[in-house]
Every structure is written in structure tokens, then in C-alpha cells.
């Protein structure tokens, strides 16, 4: 399942690397897990619906899912498969990835796409001119697939003008009839796009949902365990940490809700502790220590120490109100 670039395949060789190299292996670990494979296949089909056929055009597609489920990671990896090349009339960029800046408006959206196309633009060019130039550049660079990540930033219902502009710009790009667009973001983004008849009409909005793993679903539970085992296989420790065993995977699930991004961060934290102790593997107490400094304030339960049947419910896990500041007694806020 796991597959990575430039990492020694032998566990002992990896464990013998310098601390910095071992740290970097864990931080940059790539796992070709089930959700990733499904998502990258879906993205590929949004770009080229027929294997060995031509790129499609004029269709708006979406990739959505909860935060940290791996949307950006997957999209960037897909885009890397298509490096820029030199054509007879200049640079060709078949697949362009760009992410929308926070609270972006039409200008910021156009600037971000221009940057991804490596197209210089000046503040003197008005927004209308910039949008036109970006559309021309998309054609000129023969872009086949434009990925707009973090699209919820451009599709914010509370900012009506921006929303209208973003919709209009998307339609103009699709009307070029030379490329497909993939808007990626949180699930609400899909709902907003789907509610726009003009956009939905451009290809019926094919979408892919990147879900977290579900422990209660037996098939998913197996996949989550496989993911944990696969990360374990790639770690730079002399011995396997048995992360894919039911006992450990279930505890890791409890901490991470089956979300790859959270799992990776948590294991990184525990692995750092294990490296500092020159341990042969990530022992349970390193996981316990890592959770101790990450659990919600006021919570005493630790899944790596306590029995899971005593675990608090998710509602109970919400952060308690911070203790009142002793100076915050209302005196200073009185008018
Ligand atoms: N297949 C994978 N292998 C290894 N690490 C991964 C994989 N997929 C995601 N990650 C890691 O998980 C973390 C979260 O991924 P990513 O940023 O892609 O999530 P996201 O869905 O885009 O989240 P957000 O909605 O918050 O932007 C990142 O640190 C990323 O490196
Ligand atoms: Mg992202």
C-alpha cells in the first residue's frame, strides 16, 4: 500500500539515518491508502473521462470532504504528474493547481490563477482586464484541467457580490470549452455549486467525496487498520510498532476520527518522542504522552492508558470554557 520516494526500503537502514532525516521521513510520509487511490482515480476521470482518450472540456467537477481528509495532498500529487513543458507557442501547462486565498474576491481569484500560470500582472491592470488576460492565458498555455482548491473561500454566501463574481468567472472559464475545472473544498462548497443551475448544467457537477474512515463499518475498519499498518511499515524505527493491530488502531481511531491528516500529525508527535528516547519502536507510553499534551483541557481520559469502554462521548470531549481570568471581573468592561 505504501509507496514513497527516495526512502530506503530496509527498516534497519531507515532507523540508522540521522535524526533530521528520520524526522523528515515521518513528516513527509506518503501512503497510497484506499481513500487516496479512489480520490486520485476520480480526479483523473474528471480530467480525462476515457482512458487513453482526450481531455474533457466545459464541465465543472468537485472534490469535497472534511478538513484534513487529504484533498489538497491528492490534488497536488495529481497536478505534479503533469509538469509544464515547452510547446511551439510557449509553455504548455496541462494541469494547473491553485488555491484560493482567504476571503477572496474576484480580483484575488484572478491574481491567484495568473500566478499559477506564471503570468505577470500589474496593479495597473483593472480587474476586468486581468480576468480577460487570465482567460486568454488559459487558452494560450493549453490548460486542460484547472484545479481551484479551498474553493469555499471564493464561494462565501455571506458575501453576495463575491459569490456572484466567482460564479460568473467559473462560467467564463468553462465557456472557453477547452478545459474542465475541479473546485475542491468543504462539503458546503459542493452544495453551493449544486444550487447554481447554470453551473450544474455544465456537466451535472460530477463529484467525489473524500470521507474519513468509519470504525463501525467493518470494511472501513479493515482499511483504517491497513492504513495504520502501512504507516508503520514506512517508519524509520528498527522494529514494527504494531499500529495496525485492533488494540492500537482502535485507540488511534478514537484520537483521530479516522482522518489521515490528524493521524499523521499524532503519529509524528509520538514518533518524535520515541526517537528522542532512542526507542526501537513507538511504544504505547509514547502515544500516551503525545495524547496527554493534546487532549482537551480538563479531560483526564487517555485511550493509551485507560480502557476504551470508559472513553467520554464525543460531546463530552468538547473543550470546556477556559477558566475566568482573575482580572476579567467586569470592572474594566464597565462603560
Ligand atoms: N495519502 C497521504 N499520505 C500521507 N499523508 C497524507 C496523505 N493524504 C493527506 N496526508 C496528510 O494529511 C494532512 C492533511 O491533508 P490535506 O492538507 O490534503 O487535507 P485537506 O483535505 O486539504 O484539508 P483542508 O480542508 O483543511 O485544507 C497533510 O499533512 C497531508 O500531508
Ligand atoms: Mg486543503
Is the Cβ atom of 261 under 6 angstroms away from ligand 1?
yes
- Residue owning the nearest CA to atom 16 of ligand 1: 70
141 with 227, same domain? no
Residue 108's Cβ-count burial label (10 Å; 0-12, 13-18, 19+) is middle
| pLDDT (0 to 100) of residue 58 | 96
Ligand 1: which of 4, 33, 35, 70 to mutate, judged by most atoms within 8 Å of the beta carbon?
A: 70
Give the residue from 194, 210, 226 where a domain finishes.
210
Cβ–ligand 1 contact at 203 (below 6 Å): no
Which of 187, 210, 233 terminates a domain? The answer is 210
- pLDDT on residue 154: 85
> What pLDDT was estimated at residue 47?
98
Is residue 322 one of the residues assigned to a domain? no
**68 C-alpha to ligand 1 centroid (Å):** 5
Ligand 1 pocket, 1 CB below 6 A? no
Confidence (pLDDT) at 318: 52
Ligand nearest to the CA of 3: 1
Residue 21 structural domain = 11-30+214-311
In a domain, 77, yes or no: yes
Phi first, then psi: what are they for 62, rounded to 5°? -140, 150
Identify whether residues 171 and 253 lie together within a single domain.
no
Decide: 186 and 67 in contact? Cβ < 8 Å.
yes
Give the atom of ligand 1 at the shortest distance from the alpha carbon of 150: 27
- Which one, of 139, 130, 138, 210, lies nearest residue 165 by Cα? 130
Burial of 24 (0-12, 13-18, 19+ CB in 10 A): middle
Q: What are the Cα distances from residue 54, in Å, to 43, 44, 51, 77, 331?
A: 15, 12, 8, 21, 70
Please indicate, yes or no, if residue 5 is contained in any of the structural domains.
Answer: no
Split into its structural domains, the chain has a count of 2
CB atoms within 10 A of CB 203: 17
Q: What percent of the chain has pLDDT over 90?
A: 76
pLDDT of residue 5: 57
Instruction: Give yes or no for residue 216 having a pLDDT over 50.
Output: yes
- DSSP 3-state assignment of 199? helix
Decide: 68 in ligand 1 pocket, CB within 6 A: yes
Q: Is 318 part of a structural domain of the chain? A: no
Query: Which band of pLDDT confidence, cut at 50, 70 and 90, is reported for residue 195?
Result: confident
Question: Ligand 1: which residue has its CA nearest to atom 12?
Answer: 261
Which residues are CB-contacts of 313 (< 8 A; sequence separation ≥ 6)?
Answer: none
Take atom 29 of ligand 1 and give the residue whose Cα is closest. 261
Instruction: Flag whether pLDDT at 326 surpasses 50.
Output: no
- Residues in a beta bridge with 181: 60, 146
How far apart are the CA of 74 and the centre of ligand 1, in A? Answer: 8
Answer positive or negative: Cα dihedral of 257, 263, 265, 268.
positive
Q: Which of 153, 183, 210 is the last residue of a domain?
A: 210
Q: Do 112 and 246 reside in the same domain of the chain?
A: no
Tell whether 304 and 196 lie within a shared domain.
no
Same-domain check for residues 102 and 184: yes
Ligand 1 atom showing the smallest separation from residue 32 Cα? 1
**Coil/strand/helix, residue 87:** strand
pLDDT, tens only, 248-264: 999 999 999 999 999 99
- Judgement on whether residues 66 and 202 belong to the same structural domain of the protein: yes
Note whether 179 and 92 are within 8 A (CB): no
Q: Is residue 150 part of a domain?
A: yes
In this predicted structure, what is the pLDDT of residue 315? 65
pLDDT at residue number 84: 96
pLDDT given at position 115 = 97
pLDDT, tens digit, for every residue of 230-252?
Answer: 999 999 999 999 999 999 999 99
185 Cβ closer than 6 Å to some ligand 1 atom: no
Q: What is the pLDDT of residues 38-73, one digit of tens each?
A: 999 999 999 999 999 999 999 999 999 999 999 999
Q: Which atom of ligand 1 is nearest to the CA of 66?
A: 25
Alpha carbons 148 and 79: distance in angstroms, whole number: 11
pLDDT in tens, 288-305: 999 999 998 888 999 999
In this structure, the residue with its CA closest to atom 5 of ligand 1 is: 30
Residues 89 and 186 in one domain: yes
CATH number at residue 169: 3.40.50.300
C-alpha cell, 63: 472534490
Query: Residue 159 domain-assigned?
Result: yes
Does pLDDT of 286 surpass 80?
yes
Q: Is 35 in the pocket of ligand 1 (CB under 6 A)?
A: no
Burial class (CB within 10 angstroms; exposed 0-12, middle 13-18, buried 19+) of 286 = buried
pLDDT at 320: 47
Is residue 73 lining ligand 1, measured as CB closer than 6 Å?
yes
Question: Looking at residue 163, what is its pLDDT?
Answer: 87
Is 330 a domain residue? no
Whether residue 115 sits in one domain with residue 172? yes
Dihedral of the CA atoms 228, 232, 233, 237 (nearest 10)?
180
- Give the nearest ligand 1 atom to 33 CA: 1
**142 and 265 both lie in a single domain:** no
Is the distance from the beta carbon of residue 67 to the nearest atom of ligand 1 less than 6 Å?
Answer: yes
What pLDDT is stored for residue 162 in this prediction?
Answer: 86
Asked whether residue 295 falls in the same domain as residue 229, the answer is yes
Nearest CA to ligand 1 atom 28: 261
On whether both 122 and 44 belong to a single domain, the answer is yes
Statement to judge: residues 194 and 46 lie in one domain? yes
What does the block give as the cell for 53?
482518450
The residue that leads in pLDDT, 104 or 2, is 104
The best mutation among 39, 73, 101, 224 to test binding of ligand 1, ranked by most ligand atoms within 8 Å of the C-beta, falls on 73
The pTM of the full predicted model, rounded to 2 decimals, is: 0.91
Amino acid at each position: 500500500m505504501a509507496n514513497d520516494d527516495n526512502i530506503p526500503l530496509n527498516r534497519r537502514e531507515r532507523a540508522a539515518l540521522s535524526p533530521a532525516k528520520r524526522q523528515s521521513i515521518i513528516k513527509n510520509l506518503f501512503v497510497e491508502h484506499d481513500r487516496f487511490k479512489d480520490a486520485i482515480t476520480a480526479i483523473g476521470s474528471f480530467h480525462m473521462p476515457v482512458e487513453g482518450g482526450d481531455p474533457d472540456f466545459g464541465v465543472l467537477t468537485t472534490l469535497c470532504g472534511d478538513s484534513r481528509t487529504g484533498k489538497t495532498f491528492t490534488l497536488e500529487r495529481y497536478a505534479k504528474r503533469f509538469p509544464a513543458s515547452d510547446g511551439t507557442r510557449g509553455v504548455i501547462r496541462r494541469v494547473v493547481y491553485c488555491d484560493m486565498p482567504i476571503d477572496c474576491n474576484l480580483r484575488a481569484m484572478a491574481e491567484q490563477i495568473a500566478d499559477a500560470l506564471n503570468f505577470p500582472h500589474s496593479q495597473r491592470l483593472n480587474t476586468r482586464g486581468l480576468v480577460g488576460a487570465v482567460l486568454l492565458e488559459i487558452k494560450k498555455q493549453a490548460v486542460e484541467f484547472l484545479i481551484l482548491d479551498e474553493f469555499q473561500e471564493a464561494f462565501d454566501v455571506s458575501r453576495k457580490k463575491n459569490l456572484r463574481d466567482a460564479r460568473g468567472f467559473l462560467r467564463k472559464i468553462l465557456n472557453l470549452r477547452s478545459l474542465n475545472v475541479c473546485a475542491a473544498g468543504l462539503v458546503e462548497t459542493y452544495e453551493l455549486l449544486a444550487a447554481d443551475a447554470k453551473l450544474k448544467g455544465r456537466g451535472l457537477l460530477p463529484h467525489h467525496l473524500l470521507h474519513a474512515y468509519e470504525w463501525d463499518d467493518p470494511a472501513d475498519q479493515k482499511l483504517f487498520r491497513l492504513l495504520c499498518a502501512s504507516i508503520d511499515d514506512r517508519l524509520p524505527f528498527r522494529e514494527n510498532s504494531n499500529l495496525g493491530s485492533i488494540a492500537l488502531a482502535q485507540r488511534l481511531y478514537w484520537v483521530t476520527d479516522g482522518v489521515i491528516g490528524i493521524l499523521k500529525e499524532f503519529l509524528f508527535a509520538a514518533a518524535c518522542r520515541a526517537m528522542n528516547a532512542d526507542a526501537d519502536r513507538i511504544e504505547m507510553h509514547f502515544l500516551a504522552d503525545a495524547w496527554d499534551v493534546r487532549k482537551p483541557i480538563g479531560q483526564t481520559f487517555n485511550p493509551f492508558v485507560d480502557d476504551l469502554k470508559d472513553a467520554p462521548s464525543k460531546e463530552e470531549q468538547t473543550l470546556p470554557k477556559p477558566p475566568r481570568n482573575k482580572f476579567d471581573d467586569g470592572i474594566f468592561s464597565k462603560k
